[in-house]
Amino acid sequence: MLEGKTGVVFGVANNHSLAWSITKALDSAGAGLAISCQGERFINKIQKLTAEHLKNKPLLLACDVQDEQQIARLYEQIDAAFGRLDFLVHSIAFASREDLEGTFLQTSRDGFRLAMEISVYSLLAVTRLAIPLMREGGSIITLTYLGSRRFMPHYNVMGVAKAALESAVRYLAGELGPQGIRVNALSAGPVNTLSARGIRDFSSFLHTAAAKAPLQRNISGEEVGDATLFLCSDLSRGITGEIIYVDAGFHITGT
């Protein structure tokens, strides 16, 4: 489905990352990939994973999205290697532990700013420099969670960041549509990842979702990977500005 297409995936930390499941799905569909992780310390581990599990050798890059120079350098490397981009996957979020452990009301000013910068502003920052490489249009996908619309105990500032992220998806989709660039979000159900484990009582997210979702189970990273493949491919060419739920239907339940 992605033979001859190239893209970049941001946010692989380890083999539990949603970005890793996404990478595997895109690779198996034949895409040429650049994988961006937060820093050099992740590269060794990810190099091993890619050698063992991917069909095609990806371009492995380190980029902290708080640093504009690192983002610019990343796109220089992608331009030199591929000369074009067809899709971008943004699978990045962060909030400090204290802001996820206390109450939302007690969120610090710095913690609020940090969560918004890394979890929301970074989508704009990485999209802006990708546009010149998306000469034939493109697809941009970010990852969100239902805590954007509902009160989820302990999700706190991340819920507010996800609400802003979903709004950013609509604004970017509106602005970039004329260039043939689509922007969508996947709203995933809970999956046990490094970031998820930072949320207090995360196991109750898993239990509640499995108990109440119409499909009566949790979702897997592979299901998020397959939905991302659909959004990167031409099969989704008529879809933009959308939040698509990959949550076994949990979001339609009343309680």
Please identify which residue in 45, 47, 54, 64 interacts with ligand NAD, judged by CB under 6 A.
64
Distance CA 198, CA 54 (A): 28
Number of residues interacting with ligand NAD: please give it, by CB under 6 A. Answer: 26
- Rule CB under 6 A: say whether 65 interacts with ligand NAD: yes
Q: Is 155 a catalytic residue?
A: yes
Q: Catalytic pick from 75, 121, 155, 245?
A: 155
Name which of 48, 61, 58 is nearest 28 in CA terms.
58
- Candidates 12-20, 80-88, 108-116, 172-180: pick the segment binding ligand NAD (CB under 6 A): 12-20
Q: What angle do CA 201, 101, 112 make, to 5 degrees?
A: 130
Asked if 13 is part of the footprint of ligand NAD (rule: CB under 6 A), the reply reads yes
Closest residue by beta carbon to ligand NAD: 17
What is d(CA 59, CA 86) in angstroms, rounded to the nearest whole number? 15
Q: Which residue has the tokens 């500005």?
A: 241
Closer residue to ligand NAD (CB): 2 or 185? 185
Binding span for ligand NAD by CB under 6 A among 15-23, 25-33, 174-182, 226-234:
15-23
Compute the half-sphere exposure of residue 224: CA atoms within 13 Å on the CB side of its CA. 29
The residues that bridge with 6 in the sheet, in sequence order, are 32
- Distance of closest approach, residue 4 Cβ to ligand NAD, in angstroms: 27
- Our answer to whether residue 75 is catalytic in this structure is no
x-or-dash pattern for ligand NAD, window 93-132, by CB under 6 A?
A: xx-----------------------x--------------
Q: Which of 144, 153, 30, 178 is nearest to 102 (CA)?
A: 153
156: contact with ligand NAD by CB under 6 A: no
Identity at 66, one-letter amino acid code: Q
Q: Is 196 in the site for ligand NAD (CB under 6 A)?
A: yes
Bridge partners of 78, per DSSP, are: none
CB of 92 to ligand NAD, least distance (A): 4
User: Looking at 124-132, 193-201, 210-218, 229-237, which segment touches ligand NAD (CB under 6 A)?
Assistant: 193-201
Residue 168: CB atoms within 10 A of its CB come to 18
Rounded distance between C-alpha atoms, residue 51 and residue 63, angstroms: 20
Q: Which residue in the set 7, 32, 58, 190 belongs to the binding site for ligand NAD (CB under 6 A)?
A: 190
The CA distance from 6 to 32, in Å, is: 4
Of 25-33, 132-140, 194-202, 236-244, which part binds ligand NAD (CB under 6 A)?
194-202
In the chain, the amino acid numbered 139 is S
Sign of the alpha-carbon torsion through 139, 22, 128, 123: positive
Paired sense of beta strands 6-10 and 87-90, if any: parallel
Give the residue numbers marked as catalytic.
145, 155
- The residues of the shown chain that bind ligand NAD, judged by CB under 6 A, are 11-13, 17-19, 37-38, 64-66, 91-94, 118, 143-145, 188, 190-191, 193-196
